[in-house]
Amino acid sequence: MTIAVGDKLPDVKLMKATENGPEAVQSGDYFKGKKVALFSVPGAFTPTCSAKHLPGFVDKAAELKAKGIDEIACTAVNDAFVMGAWGKASGSDDVTMLADGNGDLAQAVGLVMDGTGFGMGKRGQRFSMVVNDGTVEQLNVEQPGAFEVSSAEYMLGQL
């Protein structure tokens, strides 16, 4: 079952890319007491993710925060080392990279895609959501191959 607006985000272990290496983070703790713009990409360093999705949230970070977002987080079914390297190469300190290396979050929210035809295995679908104190307020899930409703610009229009 896919998560819906009004649902609590499931509590799963993610890994946060830090200067000191991977740091375990429970999603229940991470999202508690703040309003987070969360976006998920099929993979770090992939074309649309690197050219449009992450740069959009980097570019619009100040505007999102001005509209009440406390933190911006990016997740992908990649390990924390890959997410950390991608953050350094393409991101900014305004976006927290959260590795969903085992796909636990993607599976728990019902947004897994099958990338085995491309040699990518099971991944998270492209989506964005506004999570307020652990509860989903907005949910934007892309159709396969699309990049329309999960962008920072789209989210700004919802806030």
Domain boundaries, the chain: 13-158
Task: Judge whether residue 133 has pLDDT over 80.
Answer: yes
In a 3-state reduction of DSSP, which class is residue 2?
coil
**pTM more than 0.85:** yes
Whether 49 sits among the annotated catalytic residues: the reply is: yes
> What was the pLDDT predicted at 90?
82
Using the predicted structure, report yes or no on whether residue 18 has a pLDDT greater than 80.
Answer: yes
E-strand spans in the chain?
A: 13-18, 21-26, 35-40, 71-76, 95-99, 112-114, 122-124, 127-132, 135-141
- Residue 78 or 116, more confident: 78
Q: State the DSSP code for 8.
A: B
What is the topology classification, in CATH, of domain 13-158? Glutaredoxin (3.40.30)
Q: Write the pLDDT tens digit of every residue in 65-109.
A: 999 999 999 999 999 999 999 898 886 889 999 999 999 999 999
Average pLDDT of the segment spanning 114-123: 76
Given the residues 3, 14, 38, 49, select the one marked as catalytic: 49
